[in-house]
């Protein structure tokens, strides 16, 4: 088996017999994340300045649409993936495309295109052993990389292409640290924790962890005009005295699933959103609605979310 050298750094790939020629770069995960193998579609889409309206305005003085679209992905049809069934990555992606083919039976020329992976977390960094001869440290660890692989399904109907954005969740198991790929499996996030267990953790922290957990690291005062979400009445409130509250950290852009749920606090809607039951799940992205419900379940009355607490 042979594979082309990386078009970005001219580095030869580490040959893995369980990957096809097109997927050999995945055998060295660190290298793939850094170079993307010289894939021109990844390079174009990786240039965030092409997508950022602020950067566009700085460069041109006007706000224009991004130059690159989903058409810049490299797409493969089901026959291509099936012809590479010996490849562990193509096999996983082919099975995924087959599921969509079964779902959209009337669609012709169903194709799947991906961008380079985004690492979610490292796992199972154990089993220390000697690294490859050219490694200065000589120590490597077997690892599992939990990743999401952004992509799109391209569907052709009556000569018109439409796209469905998807995110593939995968676990990459390496014999060495991000190197020497052994297997790829679909990744299913762990089941949610029982609320009773979370409440026990919080109670134990308050009762037994002392000032190390429960005192402020620095002196803090509640900023004037602080707005919070009252999770009990599901509306915006402005407490007159300091109150404990939970803060949500999340990705604003990816949390919005539709324009109708892209709710943001403005002067024009402040009075309306301050009314009881103004923040129902029907008007909120799922991550925000879930955060409010979780706080209610944990008896945490106040929640701070930037989009709903800052004007």
Cα–Cα distance, 100 to 114 (Å, whole number): 15
pLDDT category of residue 166 using cuts at 50, 70 and 90: confident
Is the same domain home to 168 and 34? yes
Is the same domain home to 50 and 177? yes
Which residues span the domain enclosing 229? Answer: 217-309
- pLDDT surpasses 70 at 190: no
Sheet strands (E) in 81-222: 108-114, 118-130, 139-157, 160-176, 179-186
- pLDDT surpasses 60 at 257: no
Is the same domain home to 78 and 172? yes
Would you say the pTM of this structure is higher than 0.75?
no
Is the same domain home to 25 and 166? yes
For residue 272, is it within any domain?
Answer: yes
For residue 179, is it within any domain?
Answer: yes
For residue 123, is it within any domain?
Answer: yes
Is the same domain home to 238 and 291? yes
Average pLDDT, whole number, for the chain? 76
Residue 49's pLDDT is 38
Is the same domain home to 34 and 172? yes
Is the same domain home to 262 and 174? no
Total number of domains in the chain: 2
Tell me whether residue 181 is exposed, middle or buried, using C-beta atoms within 10 angstroms of its C-beta: 0 to 12, 13 to 18, 19 or more.
buried
Is the same domain home to 32 and 123? yes
Cβ contact 68:51 at 8 Å: yes
For residue 196, is it within any domain?
Answer: no
- pLDDT surpasses 70 at 67: no
Residue 46's pLDDT is 42
Lowest mean pLDDT among 21-30, 228-237, 285-294: 21-30
Cβ contact 296:224 at 8 Å: no
């Amino acid at each position: 088996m042979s594979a082309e050298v990386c078009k970005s750094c001219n580095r030869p790939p580490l040959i893995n017999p369980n990957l096809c020629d097109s997927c050999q770069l995945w055998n060295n995960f660190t290298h793939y994340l850094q170079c993307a193998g010289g894939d021109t579609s990844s390079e174009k889409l990786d240039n965030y300045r092409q997508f950022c309206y602020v950067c566009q305005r700085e460069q041109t003085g006007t706000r224009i649409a991004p130059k690159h679209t989903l058409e810049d992905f490299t797409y493969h049809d089901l026959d291509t993936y099936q012809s590479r069934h010996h490849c562990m990555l193509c096999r996983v992606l082919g099975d995924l495309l087959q599921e969509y083919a079964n779902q959209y039976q009337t669609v012709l020329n169903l194709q799947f295109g991906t961008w380079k992976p985004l690492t979610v977390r490292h796992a199972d960094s154990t089993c220390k052993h000697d690294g490859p001869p050219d490694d200065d440290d000589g120590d490597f660890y077997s690892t599992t990389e939990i990743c999401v692989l952004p992509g799109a399904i391209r569907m052709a109907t009556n000569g018109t292409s439409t796209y469905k954005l998807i995110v593939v969740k995968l676990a990459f198991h390496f014999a060495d640290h991000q190197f020497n790929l052994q297997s790829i499996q679909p990744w299913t996030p762990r089941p949610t924790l029982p609320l009773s267990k979370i409440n026990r953790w919080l109670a134990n922290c308050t009762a037994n962890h002392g000032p190390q957990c429960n005192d402020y690291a620095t002196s803090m005062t509640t900023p004037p005009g602080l707005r919070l979400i009252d999770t009990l009445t599901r509306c915006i409130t402005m407490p007159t005295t300091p109150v404990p509250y939970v803060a949500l950290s999340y990705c604003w852009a990816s949390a919005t699933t539709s324009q109708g749920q892209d709710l943001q606090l403005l002067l024009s809607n402040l009075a309306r959103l301050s009314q009881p039951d103004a923040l129902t799940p029907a008007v909120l992205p799922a991550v925000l609605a879930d955060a409010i419900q979780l706080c209610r379940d944990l008896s945490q009355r106040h929640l701070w979310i930037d989009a709903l607490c800052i004007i």
